[in-house]
Structure 1
């Protein structure tokens, strides 16, 4: 029998590499204008970039859990960045992508199964939960860096708007994930510090936490406050509301691309 190399469970998956390749090619297509359908190129760019960020989000949870004491993480394939290895592929990949298509919002999803009993120390448990949304926050900073550094002034409008829209998804994912609501990472950060009695009382509501958040977002007043906050964060990072709005218009290529003459410059 051939021995398995100890690092085999940490090799980057070809599926993830293919996603990165699609991201790079579509980004070049949008930037260069080579794509015959700019909107479709933006769609591929945003979707591939969003899935890559989801993979990195879950990898951060898994990697932090590994260093926290859960040595079973590697055998589950979570360190390969393969989205098909996630415990709930529907919640982790399919639904987030559908929500981007339907509503242009970064949906947080649950994916990796961590054996928490292997992890010792409340701080480690909190760090495991915080690792995912911190990746989204870092990606938001990285994607907006060209804006707040003034490097996007001469960039093609379509690329600028596509990048702004992808950055907006990272901001919404980070903020939603950090909400202290059962079932979300924000509550996972807080949970280790709560009493056993409170945790037992809250536990039955965890499967419905995300649904409750999105039900609240359907309330016009709450929705307005949420998007005002998102716009304020992006504005502070150098991204204007019209760039994200037109990014969504380009993304929905099946509805027709936005008239270039109406885009502020």
Structure 2
């Protein structure tokens, strides 16, 4: 006998996600191959598809942790299939984050899966569910930058190196922004179970606007400078330079013309 949480269709990887992974693989191959006149376009598709894949993995981590914690409803909702079309707010979860990447080169998080918190006992479980998403972004960033901190970039084509750096930077920004203790973001979700009922009631009305508040603060020059300095420090720990990320962003914005890179920037 199968239940909603164990039905195989609720765990089968979605063709939509497989298509996204295929686009990432094919465009990554095109970037690596340095195909004439399409490198910038290939970098664009590699980064965008990789970014959406990371968003799917982020939300899957929330849902999988919720399932293990007691909310079996996430299976029937399709959250375990990695299908972004199943998310509660596809516009906030997929479209807007991609727009932010295109316009500003920043990985802003978005809310997506609905967890039935009443099914889950224990404050630690609630905190772990919220922390699972940013942890996935951090892990993805570590994987993407592994060739950098393992000193394995010797034979990697310049464009692919820079595309990896830019995509990894998006993961770092998403992880850091999502961990901010702002209502509506995962950082607040980690803290919320430990707050008093009165404090939670006061913060609840602000949850729908948390992402907009963060975005607004990033327009303040002083805040923006501190934020990007922190991002640069984290990327430096991962042995990725500002030049690597900058060239990656330039390749990504292919409509402005591809950058001229004569040598690989060194740390």
- Within 5 Å, which residues of 2 pair with 1:19-58? 19-34=20-35, 36-58=37-59
Q: Shift of the alpha carbon at 1:153?
A: 2.5
Q: Shift of the alpha carbon at 1:35?
A: 5.3
| 5+ residue gaps, structure 2 | none
- Structure 2 CA distance, aligned partners of 1:186 and 1:51? 21
Q: Is the 8 A contact 1:29 1:35 kept in 2?
A: no
The one-character-per-residue Cα deviations of 1:136-182 (angstroms, maximum 9, x if unpaired) are 01001111111000111321110000000000000000000000111
Q: Shift of the alpha carbon at 1:36?
A: 3.4
- Within 5 Å, which residues of 2 pair with 1:107-126? 107-126=108-127
**1:203 is matched with which residue?**
204
- Structure 2 CA distance, aligned partners of 1:18 and 1:70? 28
Moved more, 153-162 or 128-137: 153-162
Structure 1 counterpart SS, 2:112: coil
**1:235 is matched with which residue?**
236
Query: Structure 1 residues 35, 131: CA separation in 2 closer, same or farther (over 3 Å shift)?
Result: farther
**2:148 is matched with which residue?**
147
> Which 4+ stretches in 1 moved above 4 angstroms?
none
Q: Shift of the alpha carbon at 1:262?
A: 7.6
The one-character-per-residue Cα deviations of 1:204-235 (angstroms, maximum 9, x if unpaired) are 11111111111111010110000000001001
**1:167 is matched with which residue?**
168
The one-character-per-residue Cα deviations of 1:5-33 (angstroms, maximum 9, x if unpaired) are 82111000001001111111111110111
Q: Shift of the alpha carbon at 1:78?
A: 0.4
- Structure 1 CA distance, aligned partners of 2:262 and 2:150? 26
Structure 1 counterpart SS, 2:7: coil
Normalising by structure 1, we get a TM-score of 0.96
- Structure 1 CA distance, aligned partners of 2:142 and 2:16? 26
- Structure 2 CA distance, aligned partners of 1:213 and 1:199? 19
Structure 1 counterpart SS, 2:73: coil
Moved more, 193-202 or 5-14: 5-14
- Structure 1 CA distance, aligned partners of 2:180 and 2:128? 15
| 5+ residue gaps, structure 1 | none
Q: Shift of the alpha carbon at 1:45?
A: 0.3
Q: Shift of the alpha carbon at 1:34?
A: 2.6
Q: Shift of the alpha carbon at 1:263?
A: 6.3
CA RMSD of aligned residues (A): 1.5
**1:128 is matched with which residue?**
129
- Structure 2 CA distance, aligned partners of 1:214 and 1:104? 13
